Amino acid sequence: MNVNLSKGTKIAGLIGVSVFVAFFNLIAATLIVKYGWQKISFILFPGFVEKGDINSVLSFLDAFLVVFVIYTLKTALGKGVATIDETSKNK
C-alpha cells in the first residue's frame, strides 16, 4: 500500500499536531498552576495568606486566566512583537 500525501495534506497534519500540542501544554500548565498555587502562595505571600488577603485556592478558570496571560506575554516577548532594539535611536 503506497500512500502519496500532497504538500497541503502534510501542512494540515502539522498544523493539527501543533494545535493539539499547544492545547495540551495549556491544560497541563493550568493543572500545575491550580494545584501548585497553594504551595506557591504560602512561599511568596505567607503573611497575606494567614490574614486572608490572598486566597490559597484557585479555581480552574482563575488558573487558566493566569496561564493564558503568562503564555500571551511569553509569546509576545519571544516573537519580537514587544522588544527594544538597542541599536535604534528611537526607544
Q: Are 54 and 41 in contact (CB under 8 A)?
A: yes
Cα(7)–Cα(9) distance, integer angstroms: 5
- Cell matching residue 16: 493539527
CA nearest to 59, candidates 34, 76, 78, 79 = 34
Task: Please tell me the predicted confidence (pLDDT) of residue 52.
Answer: 86
**Per residue of the chain (91 residues), what is the pLDDT tens digit?**
666 778 888 888 889 999 999 889 989 999 999 999 888 888 988 898 889 888 888 899 999 999 999 888 887 777 665 556 666 655 5
The DSSP letter of residue 89 is S
Give domain limits for the chain.
20-78
Q: What is the pTM of this model?
A: 0.65
